[in-house]
């Protein structure tokens, strides 16, 4: 499997707000509990939003340059045996974020992804 150039982090605006001043994002509560930061590929993003963020509005999608994360980025099997990107060993440096965009997930899990998701 070749590593995609961009991977995606879903967060709430409230969880992400402190990162703007700090220059690094510590993650969502689940990331802190699990000891690593959860990401999705472009192909996995819609299902992740549907399964874990149904009915939520005001979310942010962070497009992160995978190559900027170094050895802390590990690909591990998760949902259905798919390999998911996980970041170990510290916060996400905002310098690795290529862009961010808002997204709302409907009560049925439907959403419109930003057109830059690739």
What pTM was estimated for this model as a whole? Answer: 0.93
pLDDT digits (tens, 9 = 90+) for 51-85: 999 999 999 999 999 999 999 999 999 888 889 99
Radius of gyration of the chain (CA): 13
Structure tokens at 58: 């005001």
pLDDT digits (tens, 9 = 90+) for 91-101: 999 999 999 99
What's the pLDDT band for 2 if we cut at 50, 70, 90? low
3 compared with 71, residue with greater pLDDT: 71
Spatial contact of 88 and 72, defined as CB atoms under 8 Å apart = yes
Q: How far apart are CA 91 and CA 51, in angstroms?
A: 24
Q: How far apart are CA 62 and CA 97, in angstroms?
A: 6
Best CA proximity match to 44, nearest among 88, 81, 2, 97? 81
| Average pLDDT score over residue span 22-29 | 96
Whole-number mean pLDDT of the chain? 94
What pLDDT sits at residue 36?
A: 96
Domains of the chain listed by start with CATH number: 6-103 (3.20.170.20)
What's the pLDDT band for 118 if we cut at 50, 70, 90? confident
Residue 1 pLDDT exceeds 60: no
């Amino acid at each position: 499997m070749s590593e995609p150039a961009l991977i995606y982090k879903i967060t709430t605006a409230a969880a992400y707000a402190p990162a703007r001043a700090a220059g690094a994002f510590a993650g969502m509560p689940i990331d802190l509990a699990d000891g690593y930061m959860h990401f999705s590929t472009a192909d996995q993003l819609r299902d992740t939003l549907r399964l874990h963020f149904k009915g939520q509005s005001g979310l942010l999608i962070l497009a992160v340059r995978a190559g900027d994360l170094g050895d802390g980025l590990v690909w591990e099997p998760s949902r259905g045996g798919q390999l998911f990107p996980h970041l170990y060993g510290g916060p996400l440096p905002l310098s690795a974020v290529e862009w961010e965009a808002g997204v709302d997930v409907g009560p049925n899990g439907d959403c419109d992804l930003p057109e830059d998701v690739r």
